[in-house]
Every structure is written in C-alpha cells, then in structure tokens.
A and B are shown apart, each in its own frame.
Chain A
Amino acid sequence: MTRNSILWLVWLLGSLIAGAAVAAVMYVGGPRDALLIGQTTGAHHQIELACDACHTADFYASPKKVAKKMNKACLECHKTELQLSNDSHPVKKFRDPRNADVRAKLDALYCHTCHAEHKPEITRVSAVTLPMDYCSACHQDVYKNRPSHEGHGFETCASAGCHNFHDNTALYEDFLVKHAGGPDIKDVAILKGAAISRAPDPVSVALASADPKADLEAYLAALEDAPDNPGEEAQKQLDRVLGAADAVAPDAHMTDDAVSKWAGSAHALNGVNCAGCHAPDAEGAETIAADWIESPGLRTCQSCHKNQAKTFKEGRHGMRFHPKLPKPRKEPKDGVEKLAATLFRDKPLGPITVADSALTTLKPEAAGIEIGSCNTCHKPHEVDIAVAAVGSCMGCHDDTHTRNYIGSPHDNLWKAELAGAAPGTGVSCADCHMPKIEDRRGDLFTTHNQNSYLRPNEKMIRTVCLSCHSLDFAIDALADPNLVESNFNGRPSVQIESIEWALRRAE
C-alpha cells in the first residue's frame, strides 16, 4: 500500500467513526455540547443540553410545524408569566388573516421572531434579538394619535418606564392616571402580603397566653373568612401542636439541638413530626430508622409546599426540575442503537452548581454549592426562617446591587423589622424578587419564580413597589440604572414623562 492509500484509509475510517459518534449523540444519547450552534440566552444555558426541551418537532417536520412546536415549548415554561403579565401582544391577537401584512413585517405569532436563540452576538436585554425599533412594524400612526410622542424614535418605545411588549400592567395609560401623584414614600408603607405572612403565628401567640383555646378562638372568629365553628377549629389547631417530648426519630438523630429547633418551628406547630420530612412514607419506629433521609429536599418539601415548589421549578433556581423538561433519552432496545447506547447515554440534568450557573457575579467560595434543593437556601430546623430572605441570597450573589443592599434604606428597614418593627415594614431581597402573591384560591404564598418579577423591572411595580411608593417615584427609580445598582441609595436622577402625558390627555 502506498502512503497515500493508507492516509485515505485512515481518513475514511476516521470520518466514519466521527460520523457514527455524531449520529449516536444525536439519536441515542450522550453529551451534546459539540452540537450547540451558539450560546443560549440567559438562564437557558442551564438546560441547553436538553436540546429536545425546545426542539420538539420531528426531524422532517415542515418549518411551520417546527415553529409551532417550538412556541409550544416556550409556553410550557413561560405561560404562567405571560398570564401574570396580562400579555399586551398575545399570539391570538395576530392570528386574524387581516394581519397578514403586519406578520410579513414582524411575525408576532412566534416567540422566536423576537427572541431568537443561540445568537449571543445580537441578543439584547430581556433576550430580544431584534433591533429595538420593532414597534414600528405596526404602530406607524403613533405620532398622529399621540402628538406627545413626537421626536421620540421607535427605538425608544421600550425604554425603561415607558412601554413593554408583553407586560404593561403598571404602565397603561388609565393606570398611570389613576395612580398619579402622592408622596414618594407613603405614610403607611407596608408590604401587605409580607405583613400577613410575617405576623406572629396565631397558634404560638395563643400558646403563650393564659387561655390558649379562648385566645385562638377569638382570633379565628375575628377573621374575615372565619371558620363556621371557631371553638372547634381552635381546639383542632391546638391539638395538632407537637412539643419536644413528642419528637420521634432514631436515637442517633435525637440531639438536643435538632429537637429544640424543631420544637420551635412552624413544622412542630402544625403537627409535622421528624419523620414527616425525614421518613415521609415510614410507619413505626423501625421503618423510620430504615427510611431515614438525612437531608430531605424538594421531593419531600413539595408534598406540602406545592405553590412554592411549582414556582421554584419555573424560576432560575429550580428550572432544571421543571416537569416539562425532557427526561434522558430512553435506552434503545436492540440493534446498532443499543450497541451505541453502551457508549453514549444521557445523564439526568440534576442540580446545577453555582459555578456552572454563573450568569451574574457570584462568590467564588460558593462555586460548589448545588442549586436545586429547598435546603440550599432554607434551614428548616432554624426558628428564624428569615435567613432565606437575605442571608441565603448573599451567600452566593456578589454583584454591586446585592452588595449595596447592606446599609441601603430597604436593608435598614429590614433590620428594624427583625429588631421588632411591624411585620411588612422591612424590605428583604425576597420581598422584591420573590414577593408574596395569591394563588388561584386567593391563598398567599411566596413565589419562588424570581423571573416573574425581574425583567423588565417594571413588573415589580404593582406587586411590590406600590405598597410603599408612589407610581411616579417607582417608575423613575426603576428607570435609573445607577440607582438600581446602588440598591436605591439616593433619589432617581431621571424623570419619565409618561404620567404627565397621560394626565394631560385625560384632561
């Protein structure tokens, strides 16, 4: 054989092996890093190797089908957010054939028209990949209908404080007019949801009183949605309370520290014994010891804390556990594929480490922390659950906004609340980024999807800022990037004219 023939043979064999490996990774399993055509947007990098989370269409599907299926995939995770935002431009508004000419300019039927993936070089804030004058496709008549907008180019529509494509719940004209004026800081500045959820637990208050049953009964009877029989309900709640003597756990775990912390916790007050979390399926002392989970996580917590778990999986800290994410590809049953599967297998996504999640500035010492379990941030044995509201955030986040929180007006109020000021007067990290919201039944809970209230930051106005501030102040403050970075140490240096314009038109 000549040297050339050998080289040809090597090249051929090499190509075949490489081709087979690519095919195996595509169709059977294994890490797909090499197939990535470009960095994904924002937090998506946490799931970018689960290609079929977004690419759900079959290989030979038509472009239209691919686009439709991809939209569906976007909505699997972002639907709730869009509902919360009362989306100003939902897809359904663009379906009518009369919009054909508009769609030719800006096909608003598809998320990826504006939010193309794998294109970091053209990705702007809020994952927009279009030039910022996209509003011009449909709103050419704006200067005629709103003479006040004269001189403001289309690239400025989506500027902070003015308009958003999706969420205008705090920016629409009527809302601006209704909430115009008022002092920067309200006379009664209280986060309503936080005030309710951080109020002293009525059961522990009752237990500390001379007649717990009478105390709790009076409390329950005074509630807006008082139970039919407050006395019976009070007794039921008091009967549920567990004390240190009730703790049931294998001897090795019955430390004074653990028992005393548990006995002072909401879990004990609500009748959740050690095994309730550490061995949830066990019955009797022996099985408790056998089933004992050292550090219960999301799977255990979510059996009671459903809303928190659901929103956690929709947010940036828990998105790898979103129920709609694809599972690892199944092992093929026979043939070449089964053979390939011995070498190429998918691993479950599992929790991400702080180091791998680094989108923002994070502390190097936190690099190894795994995100994805409730107890990464919460310390369920601690009586003081407030640790998750500031301390846990500070444990990893190290950007300027976070660092400037210490000593900021919000932090001072938070410290004052911890020192005894009225519940809801302090403002922790979680109060703005994971506010208390109502579920479908009207029950208050802490949303764990921080993305819902993050960007554009006007999303925070209604749920958070307006509890304590005027709309004018909130819009200006959030539109001032320096003020945001300083964590609101100071006053807004910008003034957004939208309220003034709205008032002028309402006259």
Chain B
Amino acid sequence: MTVKAIKAIVLGGMLATAPLAATADEGLDPKDVADMLHAVMDSDRTIYTKMIVQRLVAKEKLIKASEFFDDDKAAPLPAQMFRFGSEMVADKTDLFSYSLQSLWPINKQNAPRTDMEKEGLQFIADNPGENYYGEEELGGETYFTAVYPDVAVAEVCATCHNDHKDTPRTDFKVGDVMGGVVIRIPLDG
C-alpha cells in the first residue's frame, strides 16, 4: 500500500498538495508518510529508553546497558537499538531510510553530513517542538527529507551523554533536544 501510494503521488505530480486523507489514486504526501514513520520510531525508541534502560538499568539495576553489549553481556544502548533497526530496514527496502544524528555526536559518523542535515539539525535545535522538511539531491536521486527533534526522554539519556568520554557537550538535561531523526523518501519513483 505504501509503495503504491508513494509511486502514485510522484507520478501524479501532486507532491506538495496531497491532503492527509488522500484517496488511493492520489496516494499519500511524503510528509505524511514521514510523519507516520516517525511516530512509530519515536514511540518505540521512547519505550525502549524508559521501560528497559531507565527502569531496568538505572532504577532497578537488574541489567547493564553498554555500547559493547556483546562483550559486556549487556543490553544495547537506545541509540544502537535505533541504528540496528534502521540498518535492518535498509536491508529490506530502499523506499525510505532513516538515521539518528546530532550536532553533538558521540560517534562522529553521526554528525550531520549533507547541507540539509546540517540545516535541519540546527533548525530543530533552535526551534524546539518543530520539525524540518525539505528536498535534497544525493548521488543523483532526489529525496524528501524530514528532520525530527530527538529529545532526552529520561534521565539516562542526559547522564550517559554528558559523561561519555567522546561527548562534545556535557550539559544535557531531560527535555533537551539532543539530536534529530532524519527520514528520507526517494521521490524519483
């Protein structure tokens, strides 16, 4: 359904005008598709952070969470869970892709790289609560790109990032925008 929907909207040239409750012929606006995908990602991410890491690691101290989860026999960090999901999605489909990035990344490969990523991450940092949308061309393909704020939903988010030896920023607190989720949908069909 989503595949057909996206193709239909591109072919029909109705990119920016498609309403949310579009008919099957018109398909869905990529922005709505991105918003829907993000709603799922953000909910799963928040739940893992709160229910597993904040609860079982920080509060109950029943398990450990570690970047080196395999060697440390620990739970993966929320950022890793998110990345593993996005890598698995990339294995399954090229209809969309997503990643977690930050202006203050611990892993420097997660710093914004494209112009739109840089602009988007700065925008969501400067305008809390707002998302950023645009189009960009990468490797000869045009993408609809959406950047959503990634907020510290629990104490562990802030403490872990503030304490990590590779962090460029040490004053995060709960509620701060720590980075952004970037979702891309190719528009060229």
Identify the closest chain A residue to B182 (Cβ). A98
Interface contacts beyond A90-B87, A96-B184, A174-B68: sample of 18 additional A-B pairs, CB < 8 Å, sorted by A: A86-B70, A92-B91, A95-B87, A95-B90, A95-B91, A96-B86, A96-B97, A96-B99, A98-B99, A98-B114, A100-B139, A100-B141, A101-B113, A101-B114, A101-B138, A145-B166, A174-B71, A505-B165
Chain B, 165-178, contact with A by CB distance < 8 Å: what is the 0/1 string?
Answer: 11000000000000
- Taking a contact as CB atoms under 8 Å apart, the answer to whether B182 and A145 are in contact is no
Identify the closest chain B residue to A506 (Cβ). B165
CB of B143 closer than 8 Å to a CB of A: yes
What A residues does B30 contact at CB under 8 A?
A: none
**Among B70, B114, B141, residue most surrounded by chain A Cβ atoms (within 10 Å):** B114
Interface residue tally on A, bucketed by range: 20 to 34
Question: Complex formed: what's the CA distance from A138 to B94 in Å?
Answer: 23
Chain A, 95-133, contact with B by CB distance < 8 Å: what is the 0/1 string?
Answer: 111111101100000000000000000000000000000
What B residues does A92 contact at CB under 8 A?
A: 87-88, 90-91
Number of CB contacts from chain A to chain B under 8 A: 54
What B residues does A8 contact at CB under 8 A?
A: none
CB of A141 closer than 8 Å to a CB of B: yes
B residues in contact (CB < 8 Å) with A: 67-68, 70-71, 86-88, 90-91, 94, 97, 99, 108-109, 113-114, 117, 138-139, 141, 143, 165-166, 182, 184, 186
CB of A93 closer than 8 Å to a CB of B: yes
Question: Complex formed: what's the CA distance from A175 to B72 in Å?
Answer: 10
Chain A, 467-507, contact with B by CB distance < 8 Å: what is the 0/1 string?
Answer: 00000000000000000000000000000000000000110
Identify the closest chain B residue to A462 (Cβ). B71
Question: Complex formed: what's the CA distance from A93 to B88 in Å?
Answer: 10
CB of A172 closer than 8 Å to a CB of B: yes
- Taking a contact as CB atoms under 8 Å apart, the answer to whether B68 and A97 are in contact is no
- Taking a contact as CB atoms under 8 Å apart, the answer to whether B117 and A98 are in contact is yes
What B residues does A103 contact at CB under 8 A?
A: 139
Question: Complex formed: what's the CA distance from A237 to B139 in Å?
Answer: 64
Contact (A141, B108) CB under 8 Å given A86-B70, A97-B141: yes
- Taking a contact as CB atoms under 8 Å apart, the answer to whether A97 and B113 are in contact is no
What A residues does B143 contact at CB under 8 A?
A: 97
What B residues does A141 contact at CB under 8 A?
A: 108
Identify the closest chain B residue to A138 (Cβ). B109
Question: Complex formed: what's the CA distance from A96 to B94 in Å?
Answer: 9
Q: A-B pairs with the 7 shortest C-beta distances?
A: A100-B139, A95-B90, A92-B87, A100-B138, A97-B138, A96-B97, A174-B68
- Taking a contact as CB atoms under 8 Å apart, the answer to whether B99 and A145 are in contact is no
Question: Complex formed: what's the CA distance from A141 to B105 in Å?
Answer: 13
Question: Complex formed: what's the CA distance from A90 to B91 in Å?
Answer: 11
Chain B binding site: helix, strand, loop or mixed by DSSP?
A: mixed
- Taking a contact as CB atoms under 8 Å apart, the answer to whether A97 and B186 are in contact is yes
Question: Complex formed: what's the CA distance from A99 to B87 in Å?
Answer: 13
Identify the closest chain B residue to A100 (Cβ). B139
- Taking a contact as CB atoms under 8 Å apart, the answer to whether B87 and A145 are in contact is no
- 25 A-B pairs with C-beta separation under 8 A: A90-B87, A92-B91, A95-B87, A95-B90, A96-B86, A96-B184, A97-B139, A97-B143, A97-B184, A98-B97, A98-B99, A98-B117, A98-B182, A98-B184, A100-B138, A100-B139, A100-B141, A101-B113, A101-B139, A141-B108, A145-B108, A174-B67, A174-B68, A174-B71, A506-B165
What A residues does B68 contact at CB under 8 A?
A: 172, 174-175
Question: Complex formed: what's the CA distance from A145 to B165 in Å?
Answer: 11
Distance (Å) between the CB of A165 and the closest chain B CB?
15
Question: Complex formed: what's the CA distance from A172 to B72 in Å?
Answer: 13
Distance (Å) between the CB of A136 and the closest chain B CB?
15
- Taking a contact as CB atoms under 8 Å apart, the answer to whether A96 and B90 are in contact is yes
Question: Complex formed: what's the CA distance from A101 to B141 in Å?
Answer: 12
Distance (Å) between the CB of B180 and the closest chain A CB?
12
Distance (Å) between the CB of A111 and the closest chain B CB?
16
Distance (Å) between the CB of A72 and the closest chain B CB?
13
What B residues does A93 contact at CB under 8 A?
A: 87
- Taking a contact as CB atoms under 8 Å apart, the answer to whether A98 and B113 are in contact is yes
Distance (Å) between the CB of A92 and the closest chain B CB?
4
Identify the closest chain A residue to B137 (Cβ). A100
What A residues does B184 contact at CB under 8 A?
A: 96-98
Distance (Å) between the CB of B68 and the closest chain A CB?
5
Distance (Å) between the CB of B120 and the closest chain A CB?
12
Distance (Å) between the CB of B121 and the closest chain A CB?
12
Question: Which residues of A from 362 to 388 have beta carbons under 8 Å from B?
Answer: none
Question: Complex formed: what's the CA distance from A505 to B166 in Å?
Answer: 9
Contact (A98, B87) CB under 8 Å given A172-B68, A174-B68: no
Distance (Å) between the CB of A485 and the closest chain B CB?
32
Question: Complex formed: what's the CA distance from A101 to B116 in Å?
Answer: 14
What A residues does B139 contact at CB under 8 A?
A: 97, 100-101, 103-104
What A residues does B99 contact at CB under 8 A?
A: 96, 98
What A residues does B88 contact at CB under 8 A?
A: 92
Distance (Å) between the CB of A113 and the closest chain B CB?
15
Identify the closest chain B residue to A172 (Cβ). B68
Distance (Å) between the CB of A174 and the closest chain B CB?
5
What A residues does B86 contact at CB under 8 A?
A: 96
Question: Complex formed: what's the CA distance from A101 to B139 in Å?
Answer: 7
Question: Complex formed: what's the CA distance from A505 to B139 in Å?
Answer: 37
- Taking a contact as CB atoms under 8 Å apart, the answer to whether B138 and A98 are in contact is yes
**Among B67, B68, B117, residue most surrounded by chain A Cβ atoms (within 10 Å):** B68
What B residues does A172 contact at CB under 8 A?
A: 68
Distance (Å) between the CB of A225 and the closest chain B CB?
18
**Among B67, B97, B182, residue most surrounded by chain A Cβ atoms (within 10 Å):** B97
Identify the closest chain B residue to A86 (Cβ). B70
Distance (Å) between the CB of A64 and the closest chain B CB?
12
Distance (Å) between the CB of B133 and the closest chain A CB?
16
Question: Complex formed: what's the CA distance from A104 to B139 in Å?
Answer: 8
Distance (Å) between the CB of A297 and the closest chain B CB?
37
